């Protein structure tokens, strides 16, 4: 299978191939192995449109972030190829239950969620490996064409899927794998910083059907509250009138549990943070020594967030993006924050952005909540 990458920015067309032999057919889910469900018009070769921010934008954001006090960089910088790989590993750590909890909830509630969502194009913001969306796509397809049903009237639209993510190669792999599992679902990838995307690219897949946003993983928590509210308003703008948003939000819980989740014993969270410095060295001609910083994750109750930081071991200066940056002993570079919202706190954040809650689902321990938001007017 070939995944085509097209860059709208440069106007050039780039073609890349992935080796399908690396995919293990035994890992395919039963629905895609059932020939009766693989109807005509199988769609392979999902297109990936490349709208990745230009290096000049990265340089500007780094200069802005390192000029702040305390120093802090946008969380999406963590997700180069290696960062995306390390994040996948974090999701498998015993201390980090968020992904497992949300995946199980999406599986058990897929039919109810699909019924509440209705039909349309499912657009996943920050799709990453796109491993959570499968049950939803299956449930939506079943609702469009229930097994064994004979269609009298017009055939309801089948679901389509659009994945948006910052890591181009990760996105390629995710679209490729998902398309193999769901050959009947039209798919498109958009490589971008979705928080800065002014408009969706023009593409036939995005015409006609309702736009249904999917923002799992509590990634909203990685934005400061004001930016999180702006992002919710931005989603409303991107999804357009009638758009809905299904969003996963991690709830506040015991600080010991949260600090362990963000500082796993295997050291993957620390490696994930340090990889930011390796990435900056590579992309912006830096000379950070990642080992000269220790990793710290701490719960800050007043902000209801975990703050993750690399803390300078001694005074040091670093060259990056054409500037010299000094770090005092013990000075922190905040790599990201991860806010936790109760259901009420989240809905209060969403209201000024033009959303209200239509339904919600949570796991038996009430660790995480999936909210379905609809537009307020
Ligand atoms: C992607 N995001 C929701 C993760 C979180 O839980 O805040 C990022 C993460 N960083 C370290 N561990 C997990």
Taking only the tens place, the pLDDT of each residue in 98-139 is: 999 999 999 999 999 999 999 999 999 999 889 999 999 999
Exposed / middle / buried, residue 192 (Cβ in 10 Å: 0-12, 13-18, 19+): buried
Which residues form ligand 1's pocket by a CB distance below 6 Å? 90, 98, 217-219, 221-222, 262, 269, 272, 336, 338
Q: How many CB atoms lie within 10 A of CB 144?
A: 14
Specify whether domain 5-54+96-252+341-375 bears CATH 3.30.420.40.
no
- Residue 161 C-alpha to ligand 1 middle, in angstroms? 24
78 Cα nearest atom in ligand 1? 10
Mutate to test the pocket of ligand 1, among 85, 90, 96, 367 (most ligand atoms within 8 A of CB): 90
7 vs 11: CA distance, rounded Å: 6
Question: What is the pLDDT at residue 157?
Answer: 63
For residue 260, the CA-to-ligand 1 centroid distance in Å is 13
Mean pLDDT across 314-319: 98
Opening angle at CA 206, ends 201 and 208, nearest 5: 140
Residue 149: the pLDDT is 60
The ligand 1 atom at the shortest distance from the C-alpha of residue 219 is: 3
Convert the pLDDT of each residue in 200-257 to its tens digit.
998 999 888 899 999 999 999 999 999 999 999 999 999 999 999 999 999 999 999 9
Average pLDDT over every residue of 259-280: 98
| Interval between CA 193 and ligand 1 midpoint (Å) | 16
> What per-residue confidence (pLDDT) applies to 253?
97
Alpha-carbon distance of 333 to 352, in angstroms, equals: 31
Atom 12 of ligand 1: nearest residue by CA position: 262
- List Cβ neighbours of 134 (8 Å cut-off, separation of 6 or more): 29, 178, 181, 182
pLDDT in tens, 45-65: 788 888 877 766 889 999 999
Q: Is-contact 333 68, C-beta < 8 A?
A: no
pLDDT in tens, 344-375: 999 999 999 999 999 999 999 999 999 999 99
Domain positions in the chain are 5-54+96-252+341-375, 58-93+254-339
What pLDDT digit, counting tens, does each position of 128-175 carry?
A: 889 999 999 999 999 887 665 655 555 556 789 999 998 887 888 899
SS3 of 281-327: HHHCCCCCCHHHEEEEEEEECCCCEEEEEEEECCCEEEEECCEEEEE
**Residue 16: pLDDT band with limits 50, 70, 90:** very low
Say which residue the tokens 């989740």 belong to. 261
Per cent of the chain over pLDDT 90 is 70
Q: How far apart are CA 31 and CA 274, in angstroms?
A: 40
Helix H or strand E encompassing 162:
strand 160-165
- CA-based torsion, 32, 33, 37, 42: positive or negative: positive
Q: Kindly give the distance from the C-alpha atom of residue 219 to the centroid of ligand 1, in angstroms, as a whole number.
A: 7
Lowest mean pLDDT among 49-53, 309-313, 334-338: 49-53
What is the whole-number distance in angstroms between the Cα of residue 192 and the centre of ligand 1?
Answer: 19
């Amino acid at each position: 299978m070939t995944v085509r990458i097209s860059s709208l920015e440069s106007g050039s067309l780039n073609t890349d191939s992935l080796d399908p032999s690396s995919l293990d057919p035994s890992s395919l889910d039963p629905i895609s192995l059932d020939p009766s469900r693989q109807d005509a018009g199988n769609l392979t070769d999902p297109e990936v449109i490349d709208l990745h921010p230009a290096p000049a934008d990265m340089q500007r954001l780094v200069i802005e972030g390192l000029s702040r006090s305390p120093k802090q960089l946008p969380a999406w910088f963590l997700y180069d190829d290696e960062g995306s790989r390390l994040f996948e590993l974090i999701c498998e750590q015993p201390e980090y239950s968020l992904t497992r909890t949300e995946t199980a909830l999406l599986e058990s509630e897929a039919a109810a969620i699909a019924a509440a969502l209705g039909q349309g194009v499912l657009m996943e913001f920050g799709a990453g490996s796109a491993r959570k969306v499968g049950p939803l796509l299956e449930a939506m397809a079943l609702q469009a064409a229930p097994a064994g049903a004979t269609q009298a009237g017009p055939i309801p639209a089948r679901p389509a899927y659009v994945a948006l993510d910052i890591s181009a190669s990760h996105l390629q792999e995710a679209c490729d794998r998902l398309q193999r599992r769901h050959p009947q679902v039209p798919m498109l990838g958009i490589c971008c910083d979705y928080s800065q995307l002014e408009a969706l690219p023009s593409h036939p897949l995005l015409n006609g059907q309702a736009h249904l946003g999917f923002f799992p993983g509590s990634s909203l928590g990685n934005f400061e509250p004001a930016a999180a509210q702006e992002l919710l308003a931005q989603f409303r703008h991107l999804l357009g009138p009638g758009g809905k948003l299904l969003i996963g939000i991690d709830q506040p819980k015991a600080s010991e549990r949260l600090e362990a989740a963000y500082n796993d014993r295997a050291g993957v969270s620390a490696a994930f943070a340090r990889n930011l410095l390796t990435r900056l060295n590579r992309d912006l001609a830096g000379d950070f020594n990642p080992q000269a910083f220790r990793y710290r994750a701490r719960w800050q109750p007043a902000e209801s967030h975990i703050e993750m930081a690399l803390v300078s071991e001694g005074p040091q200066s670093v060259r990056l993006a054409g500037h010299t940056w000094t770090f005092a002993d013990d000075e922190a570079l905040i790599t990201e924050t991860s806010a936790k919202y109760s259901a009420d706190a989240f809905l209060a954040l969403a209201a000024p952005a033009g959303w209200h809650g239509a339904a919600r689902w949570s796991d038996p321990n009430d660790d995480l909540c999936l909210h379905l938001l609809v537009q307020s007017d």
